[in-house]
Amino acid sequence: MIMRVATYYSNSDVRLEERPKPAIGEGELLVRIEACGICGTDCLEWYRIGRVPLVLGHEIAGVVTETGKLVKNFKVGDRVSASHHVPCGECRFCRSGHESVCDTLRKTNFDPGGFSEFVRVPKINIEKGGVYLLPKNVSFEEATFIEPLACVIRGQKLSGLSADLCGGKKGKSVLVIGSGISGLLHIQLAKLSGAKIVIATDISEFRLKAARKFGADHAINAKDYTPERLKSLNGGYLADHVVICAGATPAFEQGLRSVERGGTVLVFSAAGKDVTVPVPINDIFWRNEVTVTSSYAGSPDDHRQALEKIASHKINVYDMITHRFGLGEAGRGFKLVTEAKESIKVIIEPQK
């Protein structure tokens, strides 16, 4: 049987094509994709271009249509989301709480990506807890936020920002640089965890408006931002926590200039290929006891926590959706995400 896929050749060249529907093994699932979000990393052209053509899409939600004979915990008709990457749970990285740098996690994936009518979920994804049943009150569209929110949860855990996730202290000030989808999720989670004040920046007035809508106490155009402006809004201090959600080099430099003594900088965004940033060694790593950390992806536990926060409506994801397209218009979706202007979350619905 043939199915339709949206095949990525470049950010400006996404083609509707056909390929055989995947055949599943005895320990696998076939999932009919109902919704798949376009992630900013899907549009990271320098990272993708050497491996094209690709069927991308990892923020999936759909319905199980076939199960292998050895699958016990899922049945045809189940509404599910799934992690495209899963850790082994046994290596030195997993045992130390760094599941997202596990070699197994970096090798696992769907067949093909979620910008297709059907996806084969491999046996290891099921065995390692990477498939999640959706409650009735979580729509397919909302479920596409499980993966990006899981990444945000992991970042805030590792940086010590989220009090409800890692025992961090409430009442901290937070600066979120970049108010795209990741920035907006960081804003909401920081407020949920008891941040005293959240300040957001972006170069887009559309996204600054969204930052205010989703909980930022102040939203500043990055062109007008200075550390002194931050101090004026934060009682004379820089930020206790800085979260960098923008890939432009000035965002990284701005973040390092905006963290208070004893504070933490979370590098959450990817940058351009081979980008380097000068670091003020004495101010950051010697005199001021600043921590600079990073995070990548999310573990199955992070995904489960993300699903709980979406299902309980502690995090509002539905109102972040700005555009919906069928597979044939996936190229328009990629264009919107690449331009990063008047869009927040763009969702592809392969069955339409």
φ, ψ (nearest 5 deg) of residue 213: -60, -40
Question: pLDDT at position 108, please?
Answer: 95
User: In the structure, what pLDDT confidence band is assigned to residue 280 with cuts at 50, 70 and 90?
Assistant: confident
Question: pLDDT at position 32, please?
Answer: 98
Q: Which residue has the tokens 């055949």?
A: 23
| Calpha distance 261→276 (Å, rounded) | 23
Q: Which residues of 31-53 are buried (b: 16+ CB within 10 A; e: fewer)?
A: bbbbbbbbbbbbbbbeebeeeee
CA distances from 40 to 45, 126, 173, 200, 208 (A): 10, 26, 26, 19, 18
Which of 238, 255, 118, 271 lies closest to 186 in space, CA to CA? Answer: 255
Instruction: Domain 160-294: give its CATH code.
Output: 3.40.50.720
Question: What token pair was written down for 268?
Answer: 């959450």
DSSP 218-262: EEEETTT--HHHHHHHTTT--EEEEEE---SHHHHHHHHHSEEEE
CATH topology classification for 2-147+297-348: Quinone Oxidoreductase; Chain A, domain 1 (3.90.180)
Q: What is the pLDDT of residues 236-265, one digit of tens each?
A: 999 999 999 999 999 999 999 999 999 999
Q: What is the pLDDT of residues 28-71, one digit of tens each?
A: 999 999 999 999 999 999 999 999 999 999 999 999 999 999 99
Please determine, for residue 77, whether its predicted confidence score (pLDDT) is greater than 90: yes
Question: pLDDT at position 166, please?
Answer: 47
Question: pLDDT at position 190, please?
Answer: 95
CB within 8 A of 269, min separation 6: which ones?
40, 178, 182, 244, 245, 246, 247, 251
- Bridge partners of 348, per DSSP, are 36, 325
Q: What is the pLDDT of residues 115-157, one digit of tens each?
A: 999 999 999 999 999 999 999 999 999 999 999 999 999 999 9
The domain ranges of the chain are 2-147+297-348, 160-294
